[in-house]
Structure 1
Amino acid sequence: MSAKRVPLARRPACRARHAVPGASRARRAAGFTLIELLVAIAILAVVAILSWRGLDQIVRGRDIVTRSMAEERVFAQMFDQMRIDARQAVSDDEAGAPAVSVDGGALQIVRAFAVPPGAPPRLQVVRYRVSNGQVVRYASPPLANLGELRRALRGGESSTWSALPMMQGVGAIDARLYVPKEGWTSNMDAVRQQIAASADSVKVPQLGNAPVPRAVTGLEVSVGASSLARPVTRVFLVGE
């Protein structure tokens, strides 16, 4: 009776073949290599820098928009006040002088002062002047008679005047007056000549009861600021 042969030599080879997949899974379970970790860290750093720069641009853009809106609001308030003053300007005959004038680096308007119904009328002198890079609106107290008006026109801004800062960072404020038959001008001699011509016209018997025409019917104001590429200009009607 012969003994059976057992292929003992092949069994280790089978075990070796089955052991290879297990070793591969063990290596995969060990995690990332050092190079892979460095690459991942570098990618995350780039993403973080790009995110920070994007957030910084958003914040800067928001600040620019906020400043621009604030400047536009200040401009709107200042020009709206100028429009009201020009609209309330009295006639040259009532003022006894040019009701709207540009002299000494200031814009001056003689306007009607708002009073309660039934109260006697009052006048007020308003001046816009640039002081230390800031537009300031100076306003006299209510003036009851011609003597007070003349003193206010000839004098400076006393302690009884109110001073309202309107806008900062202003380099200059320029104004031109529209005089019929003359056009836009900043020459006050042309305004005074127009006032004299209007006064002579009412001496004609046919026009004796007619109101004296205004010497200035329009006002143009240009404001130059350090934050502006060019001056901002607005045009207002006088005594509309």
Structure 2
Amino acid sequence: MKTTVRSERRRQSGARGFTLIELLVAIAIMAVIAVLSWRGLDQIIRGRQTITNAMEDERVFAQLFDQLRIDARHAATDDESGQAAVSISGSVLQIVREMMLPGTAPRLQVVRYRISDGRVIRYASPPLGNLDEVRAALRGGEGSDWSAVPLMGGVGAINARVYVPKVGWTTQMKDVQSAITENDNNLKVPQVGNAPLPRSVTGLQVSIGASSLARPVVRVFLVGE
């Protein structure tokens, strides 16, 4: 009987729970695992947000540059617009472009890209039927009958320069005007009415600087091609 009691006591003394130190160690390990898991999840979320923002920026840039490409491709000639069809003034880019509407004769349209409150806005005049209307649109500002389409936000600067044959890339409109004058002087009489004047501007380079960009994005467009 004594032997049985002693054996039972030995079994009870050998069965014990976790000590306080063991519990603290286990809690510490679980805390480390939780922190590492949270950091990993946070990095995944941040990476996903970065990719989403980059894709959105790419979409906005593509929309802006695609519209610029269309406007430059449909640019009118200098004699059609009565002055340089493509012109730059500070951070404003202006293009006189041809406009084809179903069932109507070809029209011209004045398009301006300018920054307003950090956003690139494309202003477009209504269709213009004659040179007087074109001149009035070129001299005036954007009236109530003009459309205004926001294309991109967060823009710090929009810079442009034009390519003038025999001159190269320039930001000086006097170079463009000199090319127009030279083309006009070189025009031969038999060509009058048969062919337009050569273009004074054949290329357009646009640089966009935005807060989300480490460096400006530059694109080059052909004019009238």
Whether TM-score is above 0.5 comes out as yes
Counterpart of 2:210 in structure 1 is 225
Cα offset for 1:229?
1.3
* 3-state SS of 2:94 partner: strand
Kindly report which structure 2 residues correspond to 1:70-109, keeping only aligned pairs within 5 A, or say none. 70-109=56-95
Equivalent-residue separation in structure 1 for 2:135 and 2:48 (angstroms): 50
- Which residue of the other structure, out of 121, 127, 131, is the alignment partner of 2:106? 121
**Which 10-residue stretch deviates more, 193-202 or 155-164?**
193-202
Q: Deviations over 1:1-55 (max 9, x none)?
A: xxxxxxxxxx96xx38x945x5554345332122111111111111111111111
Unpaired runs of 5+ in structure 2? none
Matched AA of 2:48 = R
User: How has the CA–CA distance of structure 1 residues 35 and 100 changed in structure 2, closer, same or farther, with 3 Å as cutoff?
Assistant: same
Q: Deviations over 1:93-134 (max 9, x none)?
A: 111110000014310000011311x42111100000011111
- Which residue of the other structure, out of 125, 130, 136, is the alignment partner of 1:151? 136
**Which 10-residue stretch deviates more, 176-185 or 196-205?**
196-205
Counterpart of 1:111 in structure 2 is 97
Q: Deviations over 1:202-226 (max 9, x none)?
A: 2254x55443111000000001111
* 3-state SS of 2:29 partner: helix
Counterpart of 1:178 in structure 2 is 163
Equivalent-residue separation in structure 1 for 2:10 and 2:51 (angstroms): 59
* 3-state SS of 1:211 partner: coil
Q: Deviations over 1:148-203 (max 9, x none)?
A: 11000010111111111111111110000000000000100110110111112222
Matched AA of 1:119 = T
Equivalent-residue separation in structure 2 for 1:60 and 1:49 (angstroms): 16
* 3-state SS of 1:119 partner: coil
* 3-state SS of 1:224 partner: strand
Equivalent-residue separation in structure 2 for 1:45 and 1:24 (angstroms): 37
Kindly report which structure 2 residues correspond to 1:141-220, keeping only aligned pairs within 5 A, or say none. 141-203=126-188, 205=190, 207-208=191-192, 209-220=194-205
Equivalent-residue separation in structure 1 for 2:159 and 2:13 (angstroms): 82
Equivalent-residue separation in structure 1 for 2:161 and 2:132 (angstroms): 28
Cα offset for 1:66?
1.1
Equivalent-residue separation in structure 2 for 1:65 and 1:140 (angstroms): 37
Equivalent-residue separation in structure 2 for 1:76 and 1:221 (angstroms): 13
User: How has the CA–CA distance of structure 1 residues 59 and 204 changed in structure 2, closer, same or farther, with 3 Å as cutoff?
Assistant: same
8 Å CA contact 1:202–1:210 kept in 2: the answer is: no
* 3-state SS of 1:98 partner: coil
**Aligned pairs, number:** 224
Q: Normalized against structure 2, the TM-score is what?
A: 0.93
Q: Deviations over 1:58-106 (max 9, x none)?
A: 1111111111111111011000000000001011111111000001431
Counterpart of 1:66 in structure 2 is 52
* 3-state SS of 1:214 partner: coil
Q: Normalized against structure 1, the TM-score is what?
A: 0.87
**Aligned-residue CA RMSD (Å):** 1.8
Unpaired runs of 5+ in structure 1? 1-10
